[in-house]
């Protein structure tokens, strides 16, 4: 397999990698991960609807087809089952495909190749046959898109044995976790939130990976732990700033990967603070917040000074009204209220 360099044209047009001021948006960080992994490894390919368009999916495909050609950037018909099945087949044949679902709602059409095929092969073949496929789903919250175009289905995939599920909250992690997912020898479901696409931060130009299954403490505190997933990490940090004005020190934990979950990181924080709020952009019942709450209750119940509080979507489909959307999606204010409730 031909190996090449690891720097993309996107990178070279920006500030040199030696500068700490070099910033990329979340979407361009994903784009850079594609450029660098595809340059390094000829088996990496991108499959999906609209990937020929440079602006599609927030510019994440910018420059790929002109650089790597239609054999490795494959625009497909509108058939989620077929394109995902093709990606799984390509992985079984030795490629490292990324198949993109610009609206993860329609990943439901691809349950068979993802869950019945890709997730099971490792177990059915005693670990001898890898399935290095990345199934990339985008959550399209708000924008008056309604119930069928804005669902967050990450808990469904995290329920399935054989699937890893990552949800980066920052540009740095978006690049690093995409690289790690592409390099993984078994299926990874990479889920991002379009609300994050315009966020910017320092992203190193060199290729790097963020370990799957390792979370991070985004802010240290002693009074309460807030475990936040995806876009709610940003909201949790804003909530922590608000609460700090009242002398409340919030520790914000970002799991980065929801399966396998970095349980020890979460438990260490909760044992220290004695209180926990879980913020997840999925539905409340049977969701990721419920799973994290169960992990805490099963492992450090005696450390808790108050009940665990969850901040989630209500158990209702997303509305199409802009006014109702403002009430539907949790933000910093809901996290602030949850923290105050847990501190009573």
157-186 residues labelled b (16+ CB within 10 A) or e (exposed): bbebebbbbbbbbbbbbbbbbbbbbbbbeb
Total residue length of the chain: 344
Q: Judge residue 16's burial from the number of C-beta atoms within 10 Å of its C-beta, 0-12 exposed, 13-18 middle, 19 or more buried.
A: exposed
DSSP string, 213-245: T--EEEE--SSEEEEE-THHHHHHHHHHHHHHT
- Of the candidates 149, 202, 249, 334, the residue annotated as catalytic is 149
- Triad 187, 151, 190: Cα angle to 5°: 25
- CA distance to 204, 224, 275, 282, 332, per residue, from 269 (Å): 29, 8, 9, 23, 20
Give how far the C-alpha of residue 270 lies from the chain's centroid of Cα atoms, to the nearest Å.
23
Three-point CA angle 116, 119, 124, nearest 5°: 85
Q: What are phi and psi of 192, to 5 degrees?
A: -125, 170
Cα–Cα distance between 250 and 258 in angstroms, integer? Answer: 21
SS3 of residue 83 by DSSP: helix
Q: Would you say 150 and 313 are in contact if contact means Cβ atoms under 8 Å apart? A: no
32 catalytic, yes or no? no
CB proximity list for 175: less than 8 A, separation 6 or greater: 24, 29, 30, 32, 33, 203, 208
Cis upstream peptide for 260 (omega within 30°): yes
As a whole number of Å, the CA-based R_g of the chain is 20
* Structure token digits, residue 177: 């976790």
Asked if 80 is an active-site residue, the reply is: yes
Residues 32, 35, 39, 80: which is the catalytic one?
A: 80
Give catalytic residues, as residue numbers: 80, 149
């Amino acid at each position: 397999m031909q190996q090449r360099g690891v720097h993309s044209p996107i990178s070279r047009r920006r500030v040199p990698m030696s500068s700490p001021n070099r910033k990329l948006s979340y979407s361009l960080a994903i784009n850079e991960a594609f450029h660098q992994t595809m340059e390094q490894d000829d088996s990496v390919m991108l499959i999906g609807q609209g990937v020929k368009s440079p602006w599609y999916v927030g510019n994440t495909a910018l420059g790929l087809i002109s650089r790597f050609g239609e054999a490795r950037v494959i625009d497909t018909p509108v058939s989620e089952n077929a394109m995902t099945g093709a990606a799984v087949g390509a992985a079984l044949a030795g490629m490292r495909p990324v198949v993109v679902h610009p609206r993860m709602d329609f990943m439901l059409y691809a349950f068979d190749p993802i869950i019945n095929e890709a997730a099971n092969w490792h177990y059915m073949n005693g670990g001898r046959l890898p399935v290095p496929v990345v199934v990339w789903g985008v959550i399209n919250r708000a924008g008056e898109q309604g119930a069928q175009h804005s669902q967050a289905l990450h808990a469904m995939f995290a329920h399935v044995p054989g699937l890893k599920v990552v949800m980066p909250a920052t540009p740095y992690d978006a690049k690093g976790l995409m690289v790690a997912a592409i390099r993984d020898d078994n299926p990874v479901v990479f889920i991002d939130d379009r609300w994050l696409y315009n966020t910017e931060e320092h992203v190193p130009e060199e290729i790097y990976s963020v370990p799957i299954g390792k979370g991070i403490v985004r802010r240290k505190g002693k009074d309460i732990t807030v475990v936040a997933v995806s876009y709610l990490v940003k909201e949790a940090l804003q909530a922590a700033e608000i609460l700090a004005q009242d002398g409340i020190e919030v520790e914000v934990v970002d799991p980065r990967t929801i399966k396998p979950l970095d349980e020890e990181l979460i438990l260490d924080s909760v044992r220290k603070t004695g209180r926990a709020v879980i913020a997840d952009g999925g539905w409340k019942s049977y969701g990721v917040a419920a799973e994290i709450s169960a992990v805490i209750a099963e492992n450090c119940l005696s450390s808790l000074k108050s009940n665990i509080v969850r901040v989630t979507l209500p158990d209702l489909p997303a509305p199409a009204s802009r006014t109702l959307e403002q009430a539907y999606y949790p933000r910093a204010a809901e996290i602030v209220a949850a923290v105050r409730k847990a501190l009573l």
